[in-house]
Amino acid sequence: MDEIDTQLIKLTQDGIPFTHAPFAYIAKELGISEEEIVARFENLQQNGVIRRFGASIGHRAIGITANAMCTWNVPDDKVEEVGAIMAGFTEVTHCYERPRYPDWSYNLFTMVHSYTREDCEKVAREISKATGISDYSLLFSEREFKKTGARL
Amino acid sequence: MVQLDQIDKDILNTIQLDFPLETHPFEKLGEQLDIPEDEVIRRLERLNSAGAIRRIGPIINTKKTGGISTLVAAKVPEQRIDEVAEAINRYPEVSHNYLRPAEYNIWFTISTSSDERLMQILDELKAETGCDLINLPTKRLFKIGVKFNIR
């Protein structure tokens, strides 16, 4: 990743314009061609610097208002196996292992987004059945105070 | 709530994971969906101003850009929720912040350039709010692939 890549990300991270040639103004600013911009983004994607180039959806605005963080208490020696099963559910958008604390025993986290809370609860029951993990808790988000993407 | 017709839904389902990365992406998108570029652009503008699309751009992998990120949970008394949420939001490094009613009820993510800065933010927030915070960095990643199936 060189200085031009960094500039490229900085100039597009808030969104490209919806025009026939959305990279033209950046090409001008950086003194490179639009083709090179596309090639550089492909490269950044291959190297994993960006996960993808695409749209971030305002899921609440379109009715996907239920958003559950499901937290699971999984025996440490089962985390690998159970995490893989959870990640296999299409409704699960994120799945992570995180540390425990004296007053926090849940070590696996899955995010489930859907149209209703009932949908989310149903997915959690299915995950519980598929993994045999019965100690879990669903935390629904009631308010969004902030949401921005990761920035450079 | 934004009303969506079938073409809007097709657009939204396509541009999340299969956005055509080309010099004229909206023209290409139009070809893929069999609608003129003008119409693609008109619809994107509407969906964007109505909040259905936040932006189209690169989704950054903070780990690869040398950044540190974490999830933090805070135990905040009911009557102080607004005030504490505001204190948290003040940091530009805070990218997500939600109220999730439970014992730990404010959940936020931080992306910073260094561990030192992360610890500084956590220490400042502890001192300023007096609330219990637990730092929950990722130990293992099993999945990250937000795609909403819009129906």
Per domain, the residue ranges of chain B are 6-49, 68-136
In chain A, the residue whose alpha carbon lies closest to the alpha carbon of B57 is: A15
Nearest to B21 by CA among A47, A49, A34: A34
Which residue among A47, A48, A139 sits closest to B102, beta carbon to beta carbon? Answer: A139
Give the whole-angstrom CA distance, residue B91 versus residue B118. Answer: 11
A102-135 pLDDT, tens digit each: 999 999 999 998 899 999 999 999 999 999 999 9
Chain A, window 32-61: residues with a beta carbon less than 8 angstroms from a chain B beta carbon = 34-35, 37-38, 41-42, 44-45, 47-61
Structural class in CATH, domain A66-140: alpha beta
Nearest to A150 among B54, B107, B111 (CB): B111
In terms of Cα–Cα distance, which of B7, B86, B71 is closest to B42? B7
- A103 — contact with chain B (CB < 8 Å)? yes
Query: pLDDT at position B149, please?
Result: 76
Residue of B4, B10, B89, B98 best to disrupt the A interface, most CBs of A under 10 A: B98
Beta bridge partners of A43: none
d(CA B75, CA B132) in angstroms, rounded, equals: 5
CA distance A123 to chain B (A): 15
pLDDT band at A14 (very low <50, low <70, confident <90, very high): very high
Q: What backbone torsions phi and psi does residue B132 show, to the nearest 5 degrees? A: -70, 135
Backbone angles phi, psi at A94, to 5 degrees: -135, 145
What six digits make up the tokens of B134? 């637990």
DSSP three-state, residue A108: strand
Predicted TM-score (pTM) above 0.80 = no
Interval B54-90: pLDDT, tens: 999 999 887 777 778 899 999 999 999 999 999 999 9
- The CATH number of B68-136 is 3.30.70.3460
Per the CB < 8 A criterion, the answer to whether B95 and A146 are in contact is: yes
Structural domain boundaries in chain A: 3-46, 66-140
Ranges of residues in chain B whose predicted pLDDT is under 70: 146
Residue B52: CB partners within 8 Å, gap ≥ 6? A57, A58, A61, A62, B2, B4, B8, B12
A to B CB pairs, distance under 8 Å: 237
Tell me chain B's radius of gyration from C-alpha atoms: 20
Looking at this predicted complex, what is its ipTM?
Answer: 0.81
